[in-house]
A and B are shown apart, each in its own frame.
Chain A
C-alpha cells in the first residue's frame, strides 16, 4: 500500500516548520510557554481552551493546528482519521508538577486540572476534540524516536482499513525541552508528495 506524507510540521528550539519551511521563528522567548503563546497569537489560532492545557498538549495542539489548517475543510471522514503518537517522557513534566502539589504538609492541595494532564494521551484527546476526530488513537512510549515501529504500525492501520488518514509522529516535552514532529498520512494520490516509509521518516527526523 502506497501512502504519502501530505504535510508535516516540526516544532523545536523556537522554530516551527511546515514541510521543511520555517513558518514561525522566535528564539527570543525565555521559555516554551512564552514561545508557544506567541506562536498561537501570531498564527491566528483562536481556541480559549488552549490556555488551560499543559505544555505537552499545547505543543501538540499548535503543531496540529498548523498541520491541519486547510486540511480539515477537505471533508476527511472523521471516524476514519487516526492519531498515533509517541514520545520518551510520557507526561512526566506534568507528573512532577502534580507530585509537588501532594507533598505531605501544609501545601498539600491536589488539583484535578493538573492531574488530568498526567496522561500522555490527553494531548491526543485535545486534538480530537478540536477537530472532531473519532478514529484510532494510541500513545506509545519509547526511549528514542522509533520510525520503524511507528511507520509499520501506521501502515498496518491503513492495510486493515482501521484508518483512511492518520496524524502520526513524535511529541516530546520535558523540562522546557520540546520536539514535535507531526505528519499527516494519506493514501498516495499526489505525485509531488513524499512517500511515507520508515527510512524517509527517519531521514526527515534526523535532518531537523
Chain B
C-alpha cells in the first residue's frame, strides 16, 4: 500500500495569514473570536471568528490575474498558492488533483445585494471549482466534497484513496467556508450560537461560535517532496453515519465510535498521543464525543478542541484543525483547549488545560456533522 504523506500546508483564519502566524497565536493561546454587532449578519449580536478583509485583498492582489473572483474563491486561491509555494509539486501536472471541501461556497451570492455581481450560476460549488482549476491551470477537474461539518476530514480520506489507487501522486486538499447571514441565521434558528466565545467541553458551554477561514494540505505518495524535519503520514481514516437523527448527534456516540474503531483497526495497538476533537461547544455534540472517546478507551489521552480559538469553520474545520494538529505535533506542544474551565461532560476526558510539552508522535482527528455523519483520521509523525 502506498503511504500518504503530508507535504505542505497553509491556514488563513482570524489568527493569521499563513501556518506560522496561526501557530504563533495558537501557541500563545490567543483566540480570534469577537463579538459581531453588524446587523448585516444577524439582528442580534453573536460571536464569530472572521478573516480580515483588507489583509485578504492585499494577499489576493499579490497573485491575482484578470478574472474576477468572489471572496470565497479568493480565500481558496490565496491559501493554495501559499501552500504550493512551499513545495516543488507541480499543480499543472496530470498527477496532481485538487479536492475542494466546502459546505456553502458562494452562498452569499443569493443575497439580493450581491446577486448581480456575478453570473447567476456562480453560486454553484462546481462553478467555483472551475474558476480554481483555471486559475491554477490544472489539467484535472477538481473533486468537490460537500458533506456538512465532516467535509474537511472526509476530503483527506478521499484524497488518500485517490493516491492509494494510483490515480494521482499528489492531492491538494483545500477547505473553505465563510461567516454569512445564511449560516449565522441558520445556526441561530437552532439556538446553537453562544452569545460569548464558545467553551468546548466546559460545564457552562452554551453553544458554538461561528468561524471562517481556509486551509490547504498537500498530500503526496512522494516523500522526496518533503521539506520539514519530520515525516507526517496519513495512516488511516473512516467515515460513518449514526443513522439516528438528521440534526442531533447520536446518544451513544455510535457513528463516531465506529469511525474511530475503523481508523484504528489496521493497527489496534497504536498508541494515540493526542486527540483533536470536533468540540463545537454545543451541549449535545461534546457529550456525544465524550461517550464515543470513552467507549474507545481513550479517556486518558490528552484532548483539545480548536473551536475556542477560531470558532466552527464548517467545511474548512477539518482541514484547518488538522493543520493545527500537525503544527502541535511538529512542536511537541499540547495546546490548551481555550474556553475550558471545568468538566461539563458525563464521561470525563483528559482535556488540555494549559500548554505543555510532550512527545506527540500520533494524533487522532475527528469530526461530526448534521446528517449523522462522522469521520476520523490517524496521523503519525516519524523522524525523517
Contacts and interface: CB of A to CB of B under 8 A. Distances in A.
Interface of A: 78-79, 83, 88-90, 92, 95-96, 98-99, 102-103, 108, 110-112, 115-116, 118-122, 124-126, 128-129, 131-143, 146, 149, 152-153, 156-157, 159-160, 162
Contacts of A79: 240, 258
B107 A95 contact: yes
Given A124-B241, A134-B240, A90 B124 contact: yes
Interface of B: 43, 103-105, 107, 110-112, 123-127, 129-130, 141, 143-148, 154, 158, 161-162, 164-165, 167, 181-182, 185-186, 188-190, 238-247, 254-255, 258, 262, 369-373
Contacts of B262: 162
Contacts of B247: 112, 116
B112 A103 contact: yes
Contacts of B110: 95-96, 99
A157 B161 contact: yes
Nearest to A131: B243
B321 to A, nearest CB: 19
Nearest to B99: A140
B373 A121 contact: yes
B92 to A, nearest CB: 20
A134 B242 contact: yes
Nearest to B142: A142
A98 B182 contact: yes
A110 B144 CA distance: 28
Contacts of B244: 129
Contact of B238 (A110, A125, A128, A162): A162
8 contacts: A79-B258, A95-B104, A99-B182, A110-B186, A122-B370, A128-B241, A133-B243, A143-B141
Contact of B370 (A116, A128, A160): A116
B189 A136 contact: no
A128 B126 contact: no
A12 B80 CA distance: 39
B124 A120 contact: no
B147 A153 contact: no
A118 B243 contact: no
A115 B245 contact: no
Contacts of A152: 165, 167
A134 B258 contact: yes
Contacts of A115: 185-186, 189-190
Most buried by A among B147, B242, B243, B369: B243
Given A119-B103, A125-B371, A152-B165, A110 B188 contact: yes
A134 B245 CA distance: 12
Contacts of B165: 152, 156, 159
A134 B43 contact: no
B148 A119 contact: yes
Most buried by B among A79, A90, A96, A103: A90
A153 B185 contact: no
Q: Which 5 A-B pairs have the closest CB atoms?
A: A125-B371, A115-B186, A110-B185, A110-B189, A141-B144
B143 A112 contact: no
A141 B123 contact: no
Given A88-B126, A102-B182, A143-B130, A137 B147 contact: yes
A119 B112 contact: no
B161 A160 contact: yes
Most buried by B among A134, A143, A160: A134
Contact of A134 (B164, B185, B254, B370): B254
A69 B125 CA distance: 33
A119 B245 CA distance: 14
Contacts of A88: 124, 126
Contacts of B372: 125, 128-129
A138 B153 CA distance: 11
Contacts of B238: 136, 162
